[in-house]
Structure 1
Amino acid sequence: MAFTRATGKHRAPSRLTRRSANLAGVATLAATGVIGTLASPAVAAEAGVDAAVEETALNQIVAPATSLADEIAAQAAAQKKAAEAAEAEEEARAKAAAEAKRKAEQRAKEAREAKERAAREAERRRLAYRLPVAGTHVTTGYRAGGALWSSGSHSGVDFRAPAGSTVVAVGAGTVVEAGWGGAYGNNVVLRMNDGSYTQYGHLSAITVTVGQSVAAGRQIGVSGSTGNSTGPHLHFEARTTPDYGSDIDPVAYLRSHGVKV
């Protein structure tokens, strides 16, 4: 004989029924204020945990991103600063190099100018006229008359020159005569660079040869008293040709070349 269970008796409450009952109980407890006392700590704790987890997760996400951005910005700033420093250093080196080059060029220019001045001065001295004997003066003037000269007058000037004095070319020229000159004794005749001629007589010694080029101030002989002479001195003439009789005023000639006589 089969047994059957009466409908509605001894059946366990369904899940829906249980949930409804629980909700009704909760509502009842809430109405009485019990749930506020009993459930609040648990709810609060659960809410706090959720908030903490949420906040921690947010920090884990936001903080690294912020730190990376700051690091990138710092690196960029450092790179910019290094680039600016390198640029400034390069500019300073360029300026220093330019200044060194300018100074070197200035020194080179000054050296060239000094060399050119020295060359000009040397050329001036080479060409500059001077007295035939240092520190001398005229003792017998040009065109002085007397029986001492066969022509009746002096064709040059006599310069004081103690025996052995150095006699030099009054200017640059070429030797056209060097030897015995009769009444002039040992004499030298030079063709000057300006086309004129000068003659030096009564020398005790001659130190140049025909054809030799001489600069102003170059020694050509030693003073003496050879030829028609009454004592040691230098007979000096200025001429338009190398020959006797073409003489011009020797003092005026020397002065025209800047010599103080």
Structure 2
Amino acid sequence: MAFTRATGKHRRPSRITRTTAQVASVAALTTTGVVGGLAAPALAADTAAPEQNNLSQALSIGDSLADRIDAQAAAQKKAADAAAAKKKAEAEAKKRAEEAKRKAEEKAKKEREAKERAAREAERKRLNSFVAPVSGSYVSTAYKASSGLWSSGSHTGIDFHAATGTAVHAVGSGTVVEAGWGGAYGNNIVIKMNDGTYTQYGHLSSIGVSVGQSVTPGQQIALSGATGNATGPHLHFEARTGPDYGSDIDPVAYLRSHGVNV
């Protein structure tokens, strides 16, 4: 028994049905000889056209895809080149910044070292400098002046005019070797200077240093007065080759040889 399908008024044959029918029609025409000498080339041409169209379409799609690939590769290369250039520029900028920093640090170091050398030189000069024992004063009694006031018959130092309580300064750098009562000198201080000479400060009203203490030029060491064998307040100053009495040298010449104007 055969089954048939109704083809209602509004129903079209399916795509499969249409294709099958077309194939069957072509086969029938071939069998009956209707499709002959002229029909065969026409059929061949008709059947070859879809292949040629497909090939052209494939070639067109291939060219378009290749163009897109080339464009993508070019864009990627351009991005890579830009990234490399940026990285190189950043590296060069960093190198320049580091070089500038290094030069700035070297300059600062040299300036700092120069300042330190200048400070050391200034301190060296200061420590090697000499000052007057009493600021703004003058010599009231000269060296080797004759008088019965002194046991030796002459003055072994010089006197600087100074009221009681006037500041007395170390004339240079040295170490205190005596600080206390000195007989006729009253309260006195003896300092061994760094050059090996000695200086003495007599008739002091008070003493501000102790034995063994280091002093520097201009440092206050005492206050002037009139202790010991003195007729009034003043500072007795001596320069000596040794620590003891009798080794005195001209104190004015001593101070002037060290740049002090007296």
TM-score by length of 1: 0.75
Work out whether 1:228 is the aligned partner of 2:225: no
Matches of 1:57 and 1:205, distance apart in 2: 120
Matches of 2:66 and 2:221, distance apart in 1: 103
Q: Which residue number in structure 2 is paired with residue 28 of structure 1?
A: none
Q: Which residue number in structure 2 is paired with residue 127 of structure 1?
A: 128
Work out whether 1:151 is the aligned partner of 2:152: yes
* Unaligned stretches of 5+ residues in structure 2: 1-30
- Write out per-residue CA displacement over residues 11-41 of structure 1, whole angstroms, 9 at most, x where no aligned residue: xxx999x956x59xxxxxxxxxxxxxxx9xx
Deviation of 1:216 (Å): 2.4
* Unaligned stretches of 5+ residues in structure 1: 1-13, 24-38, 40-44
Deviation of 1:204 (Å): 1.1
**Count of residue pairs the alignment pairs up:** 229
Matches of 1:134 and 1:247, distance apart in 2: 23
Deviation of 1:222 (Å): 0.9
- Write out per-residue CA displacement over residues 160-200 of structure 1, whole angstroms, 9 at most, x where no aligned residue: 21110111211122222222222222211111111101111
Give the partner amino acid of 1:169: A
Work out whether 1:118 is the aligned partner of 2:119: yes
Identity %: 52
- Write out per-residue CA displacement over residues 73-101 of structure 1, whole angstroms, 9 at most, x where no aligned residue: 22112101111111111110121122123
Q: Which residue number in structure 2 is paired with residue 198 of structure 1?
A: 199
Which SS does the other structure have where 2:107 is aligned? Answer: helix
Matches of 2:178 and 2:36, distance apart in 1: 155
TM-score by length of 2: 0.75
Matches of 1:128 and 1:48, distance apart in 2: 118
Matches of 2:198 and 2:187, distance apart in 1: 17
Give the partner amino acid of 2:176: V
Give the partner amino acid of 1:94: K
Work out whether 1:170 is the aligned partner of 2:147: no
Give the partner amino acid of 1:95: R
Q: Which residue number in structure 2 is paired with residue 74 of structure 1?
A: 75
Q: Which residue number in structure 2 is paired with residue 64 of structure 1?
A: 65
Q: Which has the larger radius of gyration?
A: 1
Q: Which residue number in structure 2 is paired with residue 187 of structure 1?
A: 188
Work out whether 1:95 is the aligned partner of 2:96: yes
Work out whether 1:212 is the aligned partner of 2:213: yes
Judge which range, 210-219 or 64-73, deviates more. 210-219
Matches of 1:195 and 1:129, distance apart in 2: 14
Give the partner amino acid of 2:107: Q
Matches of 2:213 and 2:70, distance apart in 1: 94
- Write out per-residue CA displacement over residues 143-175 of structure 1, whole angstroms, 9 at most, x where no aligned residue: 223333333322111112111011121112222
Matches of 1:112 and 1:59, distance apart in 2: 79
Give the partner amino acid of 1:119: R
Q: Which residue number in structure 1 is paired with residue 25 of structure 2?
A: none
- Write out per-residue CA displacement over residues 43-82 of structure 1, whole angstroms, 9 at most, x where no aligned residue: xx99998886665443212121122112102211210111
CA RMSD of aligned residues (A): 3.1
Q: Which residue number in structure 2 is paired with residue 35 of structure 1?
A: none
